[in-house]
Amino acid sequence: MEPISAGALDIIQPTYWPGNYWWHWLFYTVVVIVFMLVMVIGAIYFERRAMGKMQTRLGPNRTGPFGLLQPIADAVKVLLKENIVPGVADKIVHFLAPVIAFTPVLLIFTVIPFQNGAMLADLNIGILFIVAVSSIATVGVFMAGWGSGNKYSLLGAMRNVAAVVSYEIPMVLAILGVVMVTGSLSMNDIVNAQNIPNILVQPLGFLLFFTAACAEINRSPFDLMEADSELTAGFHTEYSGMRFAMFYLVEYAEAIAMSAVISTLFLSGWRGPWLPPWLWLIIKTFFVFFLMIWVRTIMPRVRIDQLMGLAWKFLFPLAVINLFATAIEVLAWPDASQWIFVGVNIVLAGALVFLGSRLFKTGLGRVEV
Amino acid sequence: MGQAVAFWIMAVVIVGAALAVVFLRNVFRAALLLILCFIGVAGIYITLSADFLAAVQILVYVGAISVLIILAIMMTRGIQKGSPANKLRIPAVIVAAALLGILIYAVTTSPWNVSSQPPLTDTTGPLATQLFSENGYILPVLTGATLLLVAILGAIVITRENKENKK
């Protein structure tokens, strides 16, 4: 049994390292949990500061140097708060909901490679596993909405269902394009196959996946399920103290998980020059997360009918066309250089987005039901 | 050894959850336990080296079907009262008993052939070949897809007509 040291990350002994099965399991479980918690704390700080800059205000800057300790102070505050359970709540469901929402997010990180083969489980069905597992998180949201016994919670949960069910389809179709290009479902193989980052080979796929992922994890401008002005706080209205902290954690962990998935699928994951692989993954994850913050800051919130319309009338046809185009390219010219497809696909993506935005109307300010 | 332990844990979870689905009065909790039951079945698939099938089981049954069931429940009133009794109780018992008898008979009498070949390590490729190749199950797959599409279109047509009649 080799001792685990910090320098051990440099040893390239992919799948079996470190040591035997249980050591591998223990080491990566700790790595995944620590990675997620640190990234979430970083993400909360980063989001508040970046949004502050974009909105010409300061953001948190009092606690510690540059306000770096603000997320920790918030975490301590929210953990020490009283936990209030409504009298009409379904107690067991209310208690279990945060746990069930949290577990799938943690599971997503188990198949994300930090280096060639450095992951908890190199499944052959990696990306399918992510899609399957992240669909369980919705159940936690329902349980919160239903178990609280509050109509605003229930409305928030129902909006969440509608959004998740609709946006799952363009998301999976966008993933399929990547899978066809790389020829594997394993996250490690997908990264290894990306000599050109997939964002160039599949530009439309990237845009579709990014939009669908933002909607799936309730990021603004798709945060209808917790629209403060309409539903107080949506499905977690009746949560306080530590349970609320868990939902808050889930929200950011989901954003980080989706950013990591996008970096792995489209930005060639841990690959990059000079810097160590795990650092590249973190840099790319934060870059994608920055894009999410950017979108959040500049876009107004959509209405529920616009949300549905966008998924079914705009994203879905584009995803199907993208899938067809990719399938034809992969089947008809398997030996052609990928760079040709880069040019073709970027032109195709531009034309389709232009055409789609011309043909698709978001209701023109009227509510169309 | 490990697989046997995993099997028995999941078997107990599946059977317990399934029984709870039947006996619980609260329909929402029953739906949640149905999800637990589906996840247990996915676990059994994993111990049988059918990883692709397990992921699809979770994606389809937990991610889609259970979600639709819960959505339907959320739109229904008076969930906590449970299902009200009606005159169909005795026919239901008879049909259920008959179904149980047939299932027990089929399970106990059919010969369960276990393949001597080692399980495939990568099931995705062979599964796709079986389903979509010329000599595979392409016709049943396409027929099933068409039937589902027709059912969805039918549902849409029925609900739309009702809406117009009210107006």
In terms of Cα–Cα distance, which of A4, A59, A10 is closest to A26?
Answer: A4
Query: Which CATH architecture does the domain made up of B1-80 adopt?
Result: Up-down Bundle (1.20)
Reported confidence tier of residue B11, pLDDT bands at 50, 70, 90? very high
Contact between B21 and B37 (Cβ < 8 Å): yes
Q: What is the ipTM of this complex?
A: 0.79
- Rounded CA gap, A288 and A259, in Å? 5
Per-residue pLDDT of chain A (369 residues; tens, 9 = 90+): 333 433 333 334 444 455 677 777 888 888 888 888 888 888 888 888 888 888 888 888 888 788 888 888 888 888 888 887 777 777 888 888 888 888 888 888 888 888 777 777 777 888 888 988 888 888 888 888 888 877 788 888 888 877 888 888 899 899 998 888 888 888 888 888 888 888 888 888 899 999 898 888 878 777 776 666 667 777 777 787 788 888 888 888 989 999 999 999 888 888 888 888 888 888 999 899 999 999 888 888 777 777 888 888 888 888 999 999 888 888 888 777 778 888 888 888 888 888 887 777 665 555 444
- For residue B74, give the nearest of A125, A135, A154 by CB distance: A154
pLDDT, residue A241, reads 78
Distance of CA A84 to the CA centre of its chain: 30
- For residue A124, give the nearest of B29, B68, B124 by CB distance: B124
Q: Do A128 and B63 touch (CB under 8 A)?
A: no
A73 touches chain B (CB under 8 A): no
Residues of B in contact with A123 (CB under 8 A): 51
Q: Do B59 and A131 touch (CB under 8 A)?
A: yes
φ/ψ bin of A349: left (φ > 0), alpha (ψ from -120 to 50), beta (otherwise) = alpha
> Between B128 and A17, whose confidence is greater?
B128
φ, ψ dihedrals at A34, nearest 5°: -65, -45
- Rounded CA gap, A258 and A175, in Å? 13
In three-state secondary structure terms, A210 is helix
pLDDT, residue B137, reads 87
pLDDT, residue A19, reads 62
Query: What average pLDDT does the structure give for chain B?
Result: 84
B35 touches chain A (CB under 8 A): yes
| Residues 70-109, chain B, touching A (beta carbon < 8 A) | 70-71, 74
Contact between A263 and A194 (Cβ < 8 Å): no
Task: Give me the mean pLDDT over the B21-38 stretch.
Answer: 86
Contact between A305 and A313 (Cβ < 8 Å): no
Contact between A94 and B29 (Cβ < 8 Å): no
Task: Give me the mean pLDDT over the B39-56 stretch.
Answer: 87
Contact between B136 and B130 (Cβ < 8 Å): yes
How far, in Å, are A37, A81, A165 from residue A74 at the CA level? Answer: 14, 11, 33
Q: Do A139 and B55 touch (CB under 8 A)?
A: no
pLDDT, residue B146, reads 95
pLDDT, residue B150, reads 95
Q: Do A124 and B121 touch (CB under 8 A)?
A: yes
What value does the CA radius of gyration of chain B take, rounded to a whole number of Å? Answer: 20
Q: Most A CBs within 10 Å: which of B26, B29, B73, B121, as the mutation test of the A interface?
A: B29
Fill in the DSSP letter of residue B101.
H
In terms of Cα–Cα distance, which of A322, A314, A315, A313 is closest to A348?
Answer: A322
Q: Do B52 and A142 touch (CB under 8 A)?
A: no
Residue B142 identity: L
In terms of Cα–Cα distance, which of A138, A140, A133, A137 is closest to A94?
Answer: A140
- Rounded CA gap, B69 and B57, in Å? 16
Contact between A153 and A235 (Cβ < 8 Å): yes
In terms of Cα–Cα distance, which of B72, B70, B83 is closest to A143?
Answer: B70
Task: Give me the mean pLDDT over the B4-24 stretch.
Answer: 90
Structure tokens at A230: 């309409």
In Å, how far is A49's CA from the nearest CA of chain B? 35
Domain ranges of chain B: 1-80, 132-167
Angle, alpha carbons A249-A255-A258 (nearest 5°): 130
